[in-house]
Amino acid sequence: MAALFNSLFGGSKPSASPIPAGDSDFADFAGAPDPSPTPLAAVPTVASFTGAGAVPTGSSAVPFTKWYNIHERHSLSDFKQEGVILGILLVIIAIHLYGTSSNRKRAKAWITAHAPILQNEFALVGFGGRKVPTEEESEGLSKTLATDSLQLPVDLLKEKSPQEFSTYATGRLNVAFLDVNLTLLKRYSPLTLAFEYGASLFFDSIPAPVERVEAILYPFDGRESLTVPGQLPGAHELRKDNKSSYDGFVWAIVNKETMKQLRGERYDVSITSTKDHPKLPNWATIMSESSEITEFLLTPELIKAVESAGELLDHIIITDQPIDQPSKLDETIPKKRLYLSMRLPSSGDYTNLLPIFQYFLRLTDTLVQSAHFRPEVLRKVRTTRDDAIRRLQKADDEEKAEEIKLEREKVKKQKRDAELKGLNAKSQKKYLEKEKEKEMKRAQKKQTQRG
């Protein structure tokens, strides 16, 4: 009762009972000191970093561990993968630079050998609008091109890609303009080059990659007044009478190695007949529409130039027909052109190729002067062209007739629909039944005629 009374009415509190000596859990905390707050003076301030109480540096400073020094955390062995990738990239870049520079050297060697001939034959050569040079300028040009610099004369030769180079010439009697394209090996990409070589071994349709120069010469053919409205500066005097035309025909000297491929790729050559000539080397043959044309064109100068070029000559073609087989009448209009294709020697010596190139540039003069044949020869030449024109004309007439038929059927259908629309349901039914009977009678009549 006394205890209850004390608890209810605030009597004296009982004294704490002593901690048993054997209870170790409570004994650990029995003598723990009371926690006390950290003095404010011990907390670092901004001034303590820069003032007199700043942390010491130098020999008395605490040394950095390896986590603060990259050369202690990593070594070169940790970058093996990156090193391999970087090495491969450097090799690819080096091969590309070497291949492109090699192609530029070969292109510059070609223009070095042919620039004097081009500038002697044409008023404007290249893309810089040059005039016909004097002897001193020609000598200076040869010396400039003969330097070891990889700088291409951009006004004479344009780099279209690392393997393609081109030049242009105009301003000559009987010639509208000349296009020349050089195609070199892909030295900057050995893997692509190896793949092309490998594919050519297994597939006949894929030719082996070779370095080649292709020239296309476009004659005026009596159209000077339409092509050149004014005289070119420094050019040869153009014909005022426009008598630069000649008879159209197809004639070619072809390397036998490329003859089959050429006949399959070009329509103009496919209409000719092939025949060997005793005056030509064994590796060359003639594709012509008439033996009289062959005897006229196969001059001693041309034979000598062909022998000098050797098997590097792919073909020289005189044509007035399209390369692709015409599918429309507009494509049968004669367009005279001259083609020259030669493989480039690996040695880089173009001395033997210069005669055929120079003869090719002057061939239009011979054609304009003497390529006017007898009516019997021209009649034979025109036979093939007339046959092609008749086939295309027949196909064109059939196409037009089909269009007219479709148009008539369309008009007839519109008239029928208009008549049906103006009838009521009963009249429409009678109209359709009558139409069905007519179709059945027409079908029976056709079947009877067939029987």
**pLDDT averaged per 10 residues in sequence order, the chain, 451 residues:** 50 50 52 57 50 53 60 78 92 93 93 91 79 53 48 74 93 91 93 89 85 94 69 46 80 92 89 91 93 92 94 94 85 90 92 94 92 88 83 80 85 82 80 82 76 61
Q: Retrieve residue 401's tokens.
A: 């007739």
Rounded to the nearest angstrom, the gap between the alpha carbon of residue 400 and the centroid of all alpha carbons in its chain is 38
Q: Retrieve residue 321's tokens.
A: 């027909």
DSSP 229: S
pLDDT of residue 307: 94
CA distance 133 to 226: 28
> Phi and psi at residue 254, in whole multiples of 5°?
-130, 140
Give one DSSP letter per residue of 249-314, joined into a string: --EEEEEHHHHHHHHHH-HHHHTSEEE--TTS-TTEEEEES-HHHHHHH--HHHHHHHHHHGGGEE
Give the chain's count of helices (H) and strands (E). Answer: 15, 10
Q: Tell if the pTM clears 0.75, that is, is over it.
A: no
pLDDT of residue 231: 47
pLDDT of residue 150: 41
CA distance 433 to 320: 61
pLDDT of residue 234: 43
Please list, residue by residue across 208-228, b when 16 or more beta carbons sit within 10 angstroms of its beta carbon and e when fewer do: ebebebbbebbbbbbebeeeb
| Residue that has been written with the tokens 């259908």 in this structure | 413
CA distance 399 to 396: 5
CA distance 391 to 9: 134
CA distance 364 to 244: 9
Q: Retrieve residue 227's tokens.
A: 């092509």
Across-strand partners of 215?
180, 340
Please, is 241 exposed, middle or buried when counting C-beta atoms within 10 Å of its C-beta (0-12, 13-18, 19+)? Answer: exposed
**Any idea how long the chain is?**
451
> Phi and psi at residue 212, in whole multiples of 5°?
-145, 145
Q: Retrieve residue 311's tokens.
A: 């098997």
* Nearest of 169, 196, 188, 192 to residue 180 by alpha carbon: 169
Residues contacting 151, CB < 8 A, separation 6+: none
pLDDT of residue 328: 81
pLDDT of residue 97: 94
Q: Retrieve residue 173's tokens.
A: 């009697």
| Cα three-residue angle 435-441-443, rounded to 5 degrees | 105
Q: Are 225 and 245 in contact (CB under 8 A)?
A: no
With H, G, I as helix, E, B as strand and everything else as coil, classify residue 168. Answer: strand
Helix H or strand E encompassing 316: strand 313-319
With H, G, I as helix, E, B as strand and everything else as coil, classify residue 340. Answer: strand
| Residue that has been written with the tokens 């020349």 in this structure | 180
* Nearest of 226, 236, 250, 237 to residue 371 by alpha carbon: 250
